[in-house]
Amino acid sequence: MKRFILLAAVLAVCAPFATAQSRFDLHEVRWTLRPDPSGESIAMSMRLAPLHERERLVLRLPLWRPGSYRYASYERRLSGLRAVDQDGVERAILSLDPRTWEVDTRGAAALTVTYACDSDNEAESGATPAVHLHAPSVFLYADDTLPLSQSLRFELPPGWDVASGHRPDPLEPGAVRAPDYDVLVDCPILLGELERSTFTSHGKPFEVVLAGKRPGADQFSREEWLRKLSAIVDAAYDVVGDFPFERYVFLFVFSDIGGGYGLEHLNSTTIEFNHQAVRSGQLEGLESVTAHEFFHLWNVKRIRPQPLGPFDYSSDVRTKDLWWLEGVTSYYADVILQRAGLRGPDGDWFYAAQAGNFRNLRQEPGYLQLSPERASWTVWEEDAHPYISYYDQGQALGLALDLQIRIHTQNRRSLDDVVRFLHRWVRYPEPGYREGDLERAIHAVTGWDCAAFFDRHVSGLLDLPWGEIAPAAGLSLVDRTAGEPYLGFGMDDEQRLRVGSEGVMFDAGLRDGDRLRRLAGVDIEDRADLRRVLGTLTPSAGADVVVERDGAVLELSVPVRERTQHLFQLSADPAAPPECRAIAEGVVRGIPAGV
């Protein structure tokens, strides 16, 4: 949310930083961040040396941030842009477009650029602020500064702390350093009141930082959460067999966000999650997003196609492989949770979760209309085609590929082996893999010629052949359609209805925000009650509804319609041949082990 700041406050935070500087290295950019004690703005200082006899310098703010494939409007949060030379003389700035500025640098040996960025305080009212900085939204760049070393120091209010995945600057105590702009903006930063914990896995240190509306220890056990994190980390290590970092930082922000989200980084992740869900012990979603983002440190950050690094921040960057980068990562999030022992001792949960994902996929309007490759490529074109999730597509493909590889190799190889091979082959920070390399990697590791599979199901629109895959992998399959009663409204956790401004339910008298009290003569207290009663209704008949609106109780009759439900279930088949059962068991147990 954009916050209003008084003009005087803006002028204060945008006042030029002191121009007296220590020796300036011509091969680096030096940054200083000074948060306002309110947590609502950050004063930024960028000190650099233009190229010799340069007349102008063009500064930009990124159009997007890696990992989030949509256009951003970060310039709306920036204000008070100024530039002074080494003598403190102000330099003219020309705005070329909302996120690009040209600075007059004629005769300047060095330049200090200052500006302010709005920030969001996620802490409780009255507490020390907690500020989460998405680095691409606050750091300017010039084309010539992208490869330069970047030094960053913080001038913090009393009682504030800072956490990030950045390495300490060996030349300046308290500062951090990145080798280039890509790494600078890859690392998110937490500022304010922070709570820290540590653990170790396979000889590597892990730091866990909590910020924002943090639950109390009686609501959220830190010891139990560290145990779960350690289990997730260990299970992920067993998939790839390598931790390609010196240390790793988990940054958790608890806020009022609906649900939660995360973003991947080279040696850290930032995860924002609803604090009320955590306080009530609903941790499954937090565990899932954590496993997903952690696996990204390999898949996306290191196993990546060539367009995804070094980055072009001035334009949309497209790849056909988001189904692999995001969807297969979602598949491995479930693999990791299962193998970590966080989802039961057998594979019941795992295969039910994969079946649930495929059911959701089949309900999406773009199912079998947009291929996984096309959905990946056109992600920037919102509303240009029927909705389809490349996450869901890729997760289904991840399971299908894993099972197919095991079937074709008699369970001697798995998708795990392909991930390990790709990690060694791509060899970050060298350029990423090329188009077609995923197929080549699978063939190189397993001997399976998967070209026809990719033609049909990755670049093509054919449905996955579960009828062939499931029995060969020791799985029981239910795949059919059936009619079910349908009312056409949604209900949230407080029994408030979502009806819309038109349609059958609106015409029957229901309105958004009505609280559902009774349906077909049965009291409704939660969504489980609603689902249970809905299953007893008869399509084409009517149902009596009692709702509360503005303190009044209304009795209405609404029509019951029928919609087609796609039933899709996967479970281990105890009657399958032993060699087939071994495949289903191997997925959830991590067999065969890495080679």
Judge whether residue 8 has pLDDT over 60.
no
Are 180 and 221 within one domain?
no
Cα-based distances in Å from 366 to 371, 394, 464, 560:
9, 14, 15, 26
Q: What is the pLDDT of residues 554-573, one digit of tens each?
A: 999 999 988 877 889 999 99
Question: Is residue 590, in this structure, part of any structural domain at all?
Answer: no
Q: Of 195, 189, 254, 256, nearest to 226 (Cα)?
A: 195
Q: Are strands 561-572 and 28-35 parallel, antiparallel or unpaired?
A: unpaired
Question: Is residue 476, in this structure, part of any structural domain at all?
Answer: no
Neighbour count for residue 102 (Cβ, 10 Å)? 15
Share of the chain above pLDDT 70, in %: 95
Are 269 and 280 within one domain?
yes
CATH code: domain of residue 211:
1.10.390.10
Could you give the CA distance from residue 340 to residue 481 in angstroms, rounded to a whole number? 34
Are 357 and 407 within one domain?
yes
Question: Is residue 100, in this structure, part of any structural domain at all?
Answer: yes
Question: Is residue 589, in this structure, part of any structural domain at all?
Answer: no
CA quadruple 119, 121, 126, 128: dihedral positive or negative? negative
Are 285 and 347 within one domain?
no
Count of domains observed in the chain: 4
Domain that includes residue 428, residue range: 300-467
Single residue among 400, 433, 467 that ends a domain in this structure: 467
Q: What is the pLDDT of residues 405-463, one digit of tens each?
A: 999 999 999 999 999 999 999 988 888 999 999 999 999 999 999 999 999 999 999 99
Are 202 and 224 within one domain?
yes
CA quadruple 131, 132, 138, 144: dihedral positive or negative? positive
Are 241 and 224 within one domain?
yes
Cα-based distances in Å from 469 to 290, 442, 569:
30, 17, 13
Question: Is residue 381, in this structure, part of any structural domain at all?
Answer: yes
Are 278 and 309 within one domain?
no
Could you give the CA distance from residue 510 to residue 507 in angstroms, rounded to a whole number? 7
pLDDT of residue 18: 41
pLDDT of residue 518: 93
**Per the structure block, which two tokens stand in for 76?**
């709306």
Q: Of 83, 94, 110, nearest to 21 (Cα)?
A: 110
Are 391 and 524 within one domain?
no
Q: What is the pLDDT of residues 487-504, one digit of tens each?
A: 888 888 778 888 877 778
pLDDT of residue 412: 97
Radius of gyration of the chain (CA): 27
CATH code: domain of residue 544:
2.30.42.10
Q: Of 423, 398, 420, 403, nearest to 326 (Cα)?
A: 398
Q: Of 361, 354, 404, 399, nearest to 569 (Cα)?
A: 354
**Per the structure block, which two tokens stand in for 77?**
């949060």
Could you give the CA distance from residue 288 to residue 271 in angstroms, rounded to a whole number? 11
Question: Is residue 416, in this structure, part of any structural domain at all?
Answer: yes
Are 129 and 239 within one domain?
no
Could you give the CA distance from residue 494 to residue 177 in angstroms, rounded to a whole number? 48
Are 334 and 459 within one domain?
yes
Confidence label for 276 from pLDDT (cuts 50, 70 and 90):
very high
Are 57 and 75 within one domain?
yes
Give the position of tokens 């390609």.
244
Judge whether residue 5 has pLDDT over 50.
no
Are 25 and 48 within one domain?
yes
What average pLDDT does range 35-63 have in this prediction? 90
Confidence label for 26 from pLDDT (cuts 50, 70 and 90):
low
Q: Are strands 130-133 and 78-85 parallel, antiparallel or unpaired?
A: unpaired
CATH code: domain of residue 147:
2.60.40.3650
